Amino acid sequence: MHLFLVGAGPVGLVTAVGFARLGHHVTVSDIDTARVATLAGGRSPIFEPGLEEALRAQTAAGRMDFTVEPTPPAGAAFSIVCVGTPTDASGPLSTAQVESVVASLLASAPPEHVVAVRSTLPVEGPDRLARLVADRRAAGPCPTVVTNPEFMREGAGLRDFDVPSRVVTGWLFPEDREAAKAVADLYEPLNAPTLVADARSVALIKLASNVFLATKIAFANELALICDAAGADVDLVTAGVGMDDRIGKAFLSAGPGIGGSCLPEQTVALPLLSSRLGVPTPLIDAVSRSNVSHQQAVVGRLGALLGEPLGGARIALLGLAFKAGTDDVRESPALAIARELRVAGATIAGFDPQAAVTARRADPSLDVARDALEAARGAAAVVIATEWPEFRSLDWTAMRAAMRGDLVYDTRNVVDRAAVLRAGLRLEILGRRV
Ligand SMILES: NC(=O)c1ccc[n+]([C@@H]2O[C@H](COP(=O)([O-])OP(=O)(O)OC[C@H]3O[C@@H](n4cnc5c(N)ncnc54)[C@H](O)[C@@H]3O)[C@@H](O)[C@H]2O)c1
């Protein structure tokens, strides 16, 4: 089948490759001409493990092509909309990009065409799309629009497409239930549990899933602070807690905070929705505040460990991506920590194996070194902020020689403890005993 996919970000590219690997032909469209040229030249504009190779393989097999054309090619039965829903002046989860693309598809695609919106929608998003469809239908037959949220994790996107936890699709009008079912059927070879429902409930499934995951992380982060103060080990605590099937281990892991384009935004979006609806949700409201407070606590702890004022101290910040396996720095806790440290008067030298370019773009005042050793030069402390596996094998003897101070503060529990200690460094690990 020929699919038209709009929006070549992490979600769009992973979805496009996933469908191409299922044997479909996918035409990928993006408004960003440079991005389309990069893709047409056989390169991926984002770092996602295995993505570039998979894009090349599917393009060489004739199953993918790239365009800036906003109109679906003749014969494409479905359009899949994967454009962004960033926070803008209207608040979190802006539907401006989605509405513009859906309006254009409603005007250009034939009536039998089905448009599946994969972008994350706010709960009122389906109503906005329904209005666009109703206006268009008043003028004559037009394509059907359904929703189909994505649940992938950056860094494991291709695997998450191939082995989805579930496939969820939503209809805007009850009479469009069959179209929502047809979109769910596209994923049938993946054998995932499937749910077809009204698009409002579907939007809430997506938001609630992410806020619940954020709550688990925030809970583990607060436990880490308790462990630091009480002399316990948060990994043992969360392992023991997670052994209960009703709780589960996944996402019960402490670190420097919640990041990425989804979780932080949605921990703001859901409380805004409940406040608009006049519904008291003190638990949901607290998650975002917990995250901000946690990042401040991490900086506070670093200051206490340092034994000298943060003002004037040089700090090496290893890891800038919001997590390992991606070059995405959107809402990265590392960048939030860098900002907090700068407010306290520290100078930051950052390093990331994949995210140097995106980090510089996001924070032009951030000094980004070529490697960990360069970042460590003259540093009073090294802070590990992303769990990149390469940080396990750093040469701590060389790092020690380059540093001015002797503190390593690992917020991800990733370093080789013995190697750090052997180099004569002082090691502190967030929430864990060394
Ligand atoms: N990133 C994730 O891990 C993730 C996971 C699940 C869901 N989501 C949701 O999926 C959606 C996409 O996320 P993303 O991170 O891939 O977004 P992104 O913002 O990184 O990429 C969106 C792409 O759409 C393109 N675009 C914007 N307007 C366009 C238009 N009018 N025509 C064609 N292309 C256009 C942009 O140029 C960009 O390449 C968002 O709603 C996000 O919340 C993201």
The answer to whether the CB of 411 is under 6 A from ligand 1 is no
Higher pLDDT, residue 434 or 234: 234
Centroid of ligand 1 to alpha carbon of 92 (angstroms): 14
98: nearest Cα among 162, 11, 26: 11
Q: Is the CB of 83 under 6 A from ligand 1?
A: yes
Ligand 1 center–CA 223 separation, angstroms: 33
User: What average pLDDT is seen over the chain?
Assistant: 97
CA–CA separation, 191 and 3 (whole Å)? 20
Task: Retrieve residue 419's tokens.
Answer: 């190697």
Ligand 1 proximity of 8 Cβ (cutoff 6 Å): yes
- Tell me, using a 6 A CB cutoff, whether residue 30 lines ligand 1: yes
- The CA 102 to ligand 1 mean position distance, Å, reads 14
Mutate to test the pocket of ligand 1, among 4, 6, 11, 94 (most ligand atoms within 8 A of CB): 11
Residue 347, SS3 per DSSP? strand
Residue ID of nearest Cα to ligand 1 atom 14: 9
Between the CA of 389 and the centroid of ligand 1 the distance, in Å, is: 27
- Cβ of residue 325 lying under 6 Å from some atom of ligand 1: no
pLDDT for the residue 218: 98
Residue keyed to tokens 């935004």: 265
Spacing, Cα 12 to ligand 1 middle (Å): 7
66, β-bridge pairs: 28
How confident is the model at residue 365, as a pLDDT?
92
Q: Are 323 and 154 in contact (CB under 8 A)?
A: yes
**pLDDT of 418:** 98
The domains found in the chain, sorted by start residue, are: 2-192 (3.40.50.720), 198-434 (3.40.50.720)
Tell me how crowded residue 263 is: count the other CB atoms within 10 A of its CB: 23
Backbone angles phi, psi at 418, to 5 degrees: -60, -40
Quick one: average pLDDT of 267-289? 97
pLDDT-based confidence at residue 270 (cuts at 50, 70, 90):
very high
> In the numeric block, which tokens belong to residue 411?
């917020």
Ligand 1: residue whose CA is nearest its atom 19: 84
Which segments of 119-165 are extended strands (E)?
Answer: 144-147
Tell me, using a 6 A CB cutoff, whether residue 12 lines ligand 1. yes
pLDDT, average across residues 293-311: 95
What's residue 347's pLDDT? 97
**pTM reported for the whole predicted model:** 0.94
DSSP 74: T
| pLDDT tens string 150-168 | 999 999 999 999 999 999 9
In the reported structure, the alpha carbon of residue 59 is separated from the centroid of ligand 1 by a whole-number distance in angstroms of 21
Catalytic residue among 82, 142, 227, 262: 262
> What span, in angstroms and rounded, lies between the C-alpha atoms of 333 and 337?
6
Q: Is the CB of residue 154 below 6 angstroms from any atom belonging to ligand 1?
A: yes
Question: What does DSSP assign to residue 50?
Answer: T
Q: What is the pLDDT of residue 65?
A: 98
Residue 316 to residues 64, 368, 379: CA-CA distances in angstroms? 42, 10, 6
AA letter at 46: I
For ligand 1, atom 30, the nearest C-alpha belongs to 31
pLDDT band (50, 70, 90) for residue 4: very high
Provide the CB-side half-sphere exposure for 396 (13 A, CA). Answer: 22
Is the CB of residue 7 below 6 angstroms from any atom belonging to ligand 1? yes
How confident is residue 18, by pLDDT bands cut at 50, 70 and 90?
very high
Distance from the alpha carbon of residue 115 to the mean position of ligand 1, in angstroms:
16
Residue 114 is predicted with a pLDDT of 98
d(CA 254, CA 175): 45
* Confidence tier at 139 by pLDDT (50, 70, 90): very high
6 lines ligand 1 (CB under 6 A): yes
**Known catalytic residue: 227?**
no
For the stretch 388-398, pLDDT in tens is 999 999 999 99
Q: Residue whose CA is closest, atom 5 of ligand 1? A: 152
Ligand 1, atom 29, lies closest to the CA of: 31
How far is C-alpha 10 from the chain's CA centre?
Answer: 9
Whether 102 is in the pocket of ligand 1, judged by its Cβ within 6 Å, is no
CB-based contacts of 271, cutoff 8 Å, min separation 6: 281, 284, 285, 288
- Closest approach atom of ligand 1 to CA 261: 1
How many whole angstroms separate alpha carbon 313 and alpha carbon 394? 22
Measuring from atom 37 of ligand 1, which residue has the nearest CA? 32
3-state DSSP assignment of residue 1:
coil
Give the number of the atom of ligand 1 that is nearest the alpha carbon of residue 32: 37
DSSP codes joined into one string, 283-329? HHHHHHHHHHHHHHHHHHHHHHHHSS-STT-EEEEE--SSSTT----
Strand 167-171 to 144-147 pairing:
antiparallel
pLDDT digit string (tens) for 303-328? Answer: 999 999 999 999 999 999 999 999 99
Q: How far away, in angstroms, is 6 Cα from ligand 1 center?
A: 9
Kindly state if the Cβ of 31 falls inside 6 Å of ligand 1.
yes
